[in-house]
Copies of this chain bind each other. A is one copy, B any other.
Amino acid sequence: MRQSHLFTKTRKSAPKDEVAKNAQLLIRAGYIHKEMAGVYAYLPLGLRVVENIKKIVREEMNKIGGQEIIMTALQRKELWEKTKRWSDDVVDVWFKSTLKAGGEVGFGWSHEEPIAEMMKNYISSFRDLPIFVYQFQTKLRNELRAKSGIMRGREFVMKDMYSFCLTETDHTKFYNQTIEAYKRVYERLGIGDDTFVTFASGGAFTQFSHEFQTVVETGEDTIYINREKGIAVNEEVLNDETLKSLNITRDELEGVKTAEVGNIFNFGTQKSEELGLRYKNDKGEEIPVWMGSYGIGITRLMGLLVEKFADTKGIVWSKEVSPYPVHLISISNGNTDVVKESERIYELLLENGIEALYDDRDVRAGEKFADSDLIGIPTRFIVSEKTMAQGAVEAVSRVDGVTSLVPESGIIEYLGRKE
């Protein structure tokens, strides 16, 4: 992508009403646009990051047998009444509206009910199970406050997966497979070491639920961790009973600020019973299905990566999520040979299937470097008279500023290396 064609421009400052660091940086760098509090559009660079995160999550969900679908924003009142979750007294984030044809509709803040209801069409016999489905859905939540940028919005993208199993044994097996799949997701996003499977408050069915919490200074949550023992407890369930059941003392735990990057729920057979989702076993008896739900906030993760890795100069992406693998910067100072060489390297990258963000603009070097720091692509290639004299490009790492000369014959290999 030629930067001269990219319609977004960097900005010196974010809108005054934007208080979250993630949104401030993402707006300034041209990744997102603020439509209203908690509601953001994703611009070309931002959409690429979202898609890169989705790709990682999709691959890991497919590996454990997930089948991708997409449910609907519009929700039937009658369905949510069955599980007593239509009332605003029970669910306080509903957006609701009225159909011109008559009757109320809701907008999907969650999709457990419609997915379980739909499955009644596809589950009748024990032979139909297990089933694992997931979607990337735009959730709409009528949050009273929305001050965390894209980390807690009124409109955001979530991956939600649902499991439907025959027995508790099958259910527990898949639940644990999902924990491992989630760990792989966070590992690939570069936050594996700082993300903890955390005991949190359970639902009607279980003592605990599991959250995935990532250590980050600006996190909304506090958890208590013991890195050696690999134990993490949300403060909401930090009490004597919990400590005893985990065989750990309060002294062994360290309090840290975190952001929730995933959660998994064990519904047992509760929701299936409420909605009448049953299968016939080999004796013809009707048995309620075991259900679980598994969420990862895609746009929230994007915000977290910004909060966690940004420095004073701007955003720092990892290779896996960066909108482009390399930022090619031409410093020509009016020398047409440098322009030609830059174009040649841009084409060379394209021919090798590598799409660079290519700063071909006619602006000062200082402005290009400042913009590049703000945008945060992990590798920068600089082409100038100086680098041409050495038959190379200068590679600069965004994370630590380390520079090296890469001969032209080696640039494809350089970009393909493991970090």
Residues of A within 8 A of B (CB): 5-9, 11, 33, 35-37, 39-44, 46-47, 50, 65, 67-76, 92-93, 95-97, 99-101, 105, 107, 114, 118-119, 121-122, 128, 131, 133, 138, 140, 142-146, 154-155
Contacts and interface: CB of A to CB of B under 8 A. Distances in A.
Nearest to A35: B72
Instruction: Across the A-B interface, give the 5 residue pairs with the lowest CB-CB distance, nearest first.
Output: A7-B131, A95-B97, A41-B71, A35-B72, A100-B144
A6 B67 contact: yes
B74 A39 contact: yes
Contacts of A50: 70
Contacts of A44: 67-69
13 contacts: A7-B133, A33-B121, A35-B75, A42-B69, A44-B67, A73-B107, A73-B140, A73-B155, A97-B97, A100-B143, A101-B143, A101-B144, A107-B107
Nearest to A102: B144
A78 to B, nearest CB: 9
B128 A7 contact: yes
Given A6-B67, A155-B72, A101 B37 contact: yes
A239 B22 CA distance: 57
Chain A interface helix/strand/loop/mixed? mixed
A155 B128 CA distance: 30
Contacts of A68: 44, 47
Given A7-B128, A101-B146, 9 more contacts: A35-B76, A40-B72, A41-B114, A42-B69, A44-B68, A73-B140, A97-B107, A101-B143, A101-B145
A151 B36 CA distance: 31
A29 to B, nearest CB: 13
A191 to B, nearest CB: 24
A154 B101 CA distance: 11
Given A44-B67, A47-B68, A101-B145, A8 B122 contact: yes
A118 B72 contact: no
A120 to B, nearest CB: 11
Nearest to A41: B71
A55 to B, nearest CB: 13
Given A67-B6, A145-B101, A72 B107 contact: no
The residue in A9, A33, A71, A114 that gathers the most chain B C-beta atoms within 10 A of its C-beta is A33
A9 B107 contact: no
A41 B107 contact: no
Contacts of A36: 74, 76, 105
Contact of A122 (B9, B70, B96, B105): B9
Contact of A35 (B71, B95, B96, B100): B71
A399 to B, nearest CB: 28
